[in-house]
């Protein structure tokens, strides 16, 4: 934030920062999401482009995620004094300046060499929390250091290893590094059938990308005969063996919740019964998500399940949403349906691909400006005040 800004902190100041931000938008970065995506995919090599843009099977779920938004229309209201708008929300008892987090996205080195460090810098500048993936290209400690140096905030996303010692070690490291919540991704005990990646014979982990956390983890290193620097292939094979655990059950979640002091948010929830079970087992929040259509082809669009999950557990736990958020109006729909916050995924990766930290910053600024303007023009002055009365179902 600029030191010479005379305005006090608060809703008005946030609005102005986002709008001032518009002046700094990288001119070359497309503003329309469709152009941003196309330009970024053009700039990437085929393997990386397919990995980021692709989904499971015939990619029906990816399309359905977007289609689901067309079922909801915003009904703008007039003459309601929307001069000062408040984008802030409370999630897990934590105060956020805006209802947006950057979703955990792995192996960002395949789109830009600065990868998660660039995302951390941009997230801190934007005052948006970053959720760091387990399969990051930089160690979680390095990313945490960047975040805290820049006054940023972070959550850590856990891929639950089949080796308990590795899981425990990752959680302990995330706690020690200062991450404020643990996001446990439940929808990826196995990597799915991704046709683009199979056709390209592309899986970045097999090239040693995205494994920084494992290669620096004492419990993981204990499994190896020699250091990854000496025999990378053996280390990669070991990663493939321990990455996921399809045998996990809800009893395991309860154990994990008991082992950490961090609030636990489970990611990948679609069925309201699963949401209720997660809360019964001690989770503090859920992320309604189908992993951007990357895991189960023909899975139900995440947005379709959001109202049921909110109705079931919204009073007892935080509910976040991702899978298909592209513009401010998408966020308004999800928030009006009861999400406490949304996660932005592929859009910021395309910003990163085109212009590193500046690209992520530009995408974030545009998104927040759009969100702020759409909120006000809908006749609403706060995110906390949104509810389903703002929407009309088609």
Q: Name the residues that contact ligand FNR, by CB under 6 A.
A: 51-52, 103-106, 133, 135, 157, 185, 267, 289, 291-292, 294, 322-325, 345-346
Which of 367, 375, 374 is CA-nearest to residue 348? 367
Nearer to ligand FNR, 292 or 338 (CB): 292
Which of 364, 369, 334 is CA-nearest to residue 351? 364
Q: Which residue do the tokens 């970065």 mark?
A: 29
The first and second tokens of residue 93, run together, are 């008892």
Q: Which residues of 115-152 are buried (b: 16+ CB within 10 A; e: fewer)?
A: bbbbbbbbbbbbbbbbbbbbbbbbbbbbbbbbbeeeeb
Which of 83, 88, 37 is CA-nearest to residue 363? 37
Query: Rounded to the nearest whole angstrom, what is the least distance from the CB of residue 374 to ligand FNR in the complex?
Result: 18
Residues 341, 145: Cα–Cα separation, whole Å:
25
How many Cα atoms are found within 13 Å in the side-chain-facing hemisphere of 25? 22
Nearer to ligand FNR, 307 or 345 (CB): 345
112 is catalytic: no
Query: Rounded to the nearest whole angstrom, what is the least distance from the CB of residue 324 to ligand FNR in the complex?
Result: 5
Nearer to ligand FNR, 134 or 380 (CB): 134
Q: Which of 112, 149, 271, 291 does the annotation list as catalytic?
A: 291
Query: Rounded to the nearest whole angstrom, what is the least distance from the CB of residue 348 to ligand FNR in the complex?
Result: 9
Query: Rounded to the nearest whole angstrom, what is the least distance from the CB of residue 379 to ligand FNR in the complex?
Result: 27
Please report the DSSP string for 17-31 in residue order. HHHHHGGGS-TTS-S
Q: Is 266 helix (H, G, I), strand (E, B) or coil?
A: strand
Nearer to ligand FNR, 29 or 334 (CB): 334
Nearer to ligand FNR, 109 or 289 (CB): 289
Query: Rounded to the nearest whole angstrom, what is the least distance from the CB of residue 100 to ligand FNR in the complex?
Result: 12
The first and second tokens of residue 32, run together, are 């329309």
By annotation, the residues acting in catalysis are 291
């Amino acid at each position: 934030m600029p030191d010479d800004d005379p305005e006090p902190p608060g809703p008005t100041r946030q609005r102005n920062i986002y709008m001032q931000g518009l002046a700094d938008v990288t001119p070359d970065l497309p503003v329309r999401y469709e152009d941003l995506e196309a330009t970024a995919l053009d700039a990437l090599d085929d393997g990386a482009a397919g990995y980021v843009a692709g989904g499971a099977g015939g990619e029906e779920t990816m399309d359905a995620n977007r289609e689901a938004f067309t079922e909801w229309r915003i009904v703008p209201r007039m003459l309601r004094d929307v001069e000062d708008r408040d984008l802030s929300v409370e999630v897990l008892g934590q105060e956020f300046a805006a209802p947006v987090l950057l979703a955990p996205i792995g192996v960002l080195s395949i789109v830009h060499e600065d990868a998660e460090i660039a995302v951390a810098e941009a997230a801190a500048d934007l005052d948006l929390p970053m959720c760091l993936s387990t399969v990051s290209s930089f160690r979680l400690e390095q990313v945490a250091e960047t975040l805290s140096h820049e006054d940023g905030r972070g959550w850590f996303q856990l891929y639950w290893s089949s080796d308990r010692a590795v899981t425990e070690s990752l959680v302990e490291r995330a706690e020690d590094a200062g991450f404020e919540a643990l996001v446990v991704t439940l929808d990826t005990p196995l990597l799915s059938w991704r046709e683009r990646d199979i056709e390209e014979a592309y899986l970045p982990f097999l090239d040693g990308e995205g494994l920084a956390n494992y290669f620096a983890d004492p419990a993981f290193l204990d499994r190896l005969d020699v250091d990854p620097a000496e025999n990378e292939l053996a280390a990669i094979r070991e990663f493939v063996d321990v990455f996921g655990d399809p045998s996990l059950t809800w009893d395991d979640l309860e154990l994990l919740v008991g082992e950490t002091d961090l609030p636990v948010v489970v990611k990948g929830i679609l069925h309201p019964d699963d949401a209720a079970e997660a809360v019964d087992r001690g989770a503090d929040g859920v992320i309604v998500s189908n992993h951007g259509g990357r895991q189960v082809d023909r899975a139900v669009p995440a947005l379709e399940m959001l109202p049921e999950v909110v109705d079931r557990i919204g009073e007892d736990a935080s509910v976040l949403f991702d899978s298909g958020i592209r513009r401010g109006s998408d966020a308004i729909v999800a928030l009006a349906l009861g999400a406490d916050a949304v996660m932005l995924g592929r859009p910021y990766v395309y910003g990163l691909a085109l212009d590193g930290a500046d690209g992520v910053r530009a995408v974030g600024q545009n998104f927040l400006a759009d969100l702020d303007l759409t909120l006000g023009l809908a006749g609403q002055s706060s995110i906390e005040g949104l509810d389903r009365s703002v929407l009309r179902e088609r």
